Amino acid sequence: MKDKTLQFKRYYTMGEVTEMLGVNPSLIRFWHKEFSEYIQPKTNKKGNRLFTPKDVETIRKIYHLVKENGYTLEGAKKALKDKSTEHLLQTQYENDSKELIRNKLLKIREELLKIKDLL
């Protein structure tokens, strides 16, 4: 997963979601079909998908289960349904988010130090 923090917006485009996760749009479309019970983006007049922050969080959970932990799609569906797994997913997601934020802050610090050296 790429180092992109979730900005606070009402909706995210397909491009923004794929950039955050570092995956192809076709994978997001596939997951949308497979996990339609959990991912329910709105569509604009052109038919483009617009994902809510909740949708993005769900997609990140699916990414974590399938890509990082090797779950099958059926296994990931069961894990999303299982409330006992939810706590584990949330803890892992929070840890991942903290790491992403930490990395982002380190990059900002590096940029500020470069700017300071230029002054």
Contact 114, 100 (CB under 8 A): no
For residue 18, give the CATH number of its domain. 1.10.1660.10
| Per-position pLDDT tens, the chain of length 119 | 444 445 578 999 999 999 988 999 999 999 999 999 999 999 999 999 999 998 998 999 899 889 888 989 998 888 888 765 665 666 566 666 666 677 778 888 999 999 989 88
Q: In the beta sheet, which residues pair with residue 31?
A: none
| pLDDT for position 93 | 61
Residue 87's domain comprises 12-118
pLDDT for residue 3: 42
Structural domains in the chain (count): 1
Predicted confidence at residue 92, as pLDDT, reads: 63
**For position 86, what pLDDT does the model report?**
61
Per-residue pLDDT, 49:
95
Residue 21 lies in a domain: yes
Closest C-alpha to 80, from 101, 71, 30: 71
The pTM (predicted TM-score) of the whole model is 0.64
3 located within any domain: no
Rounded to the nearest 10 degrees, how much is the dihedral formed by the CA atoms of 39, 44, 49, 54? -40
Tell me if 6 is assigned to some domain.
Answer: no
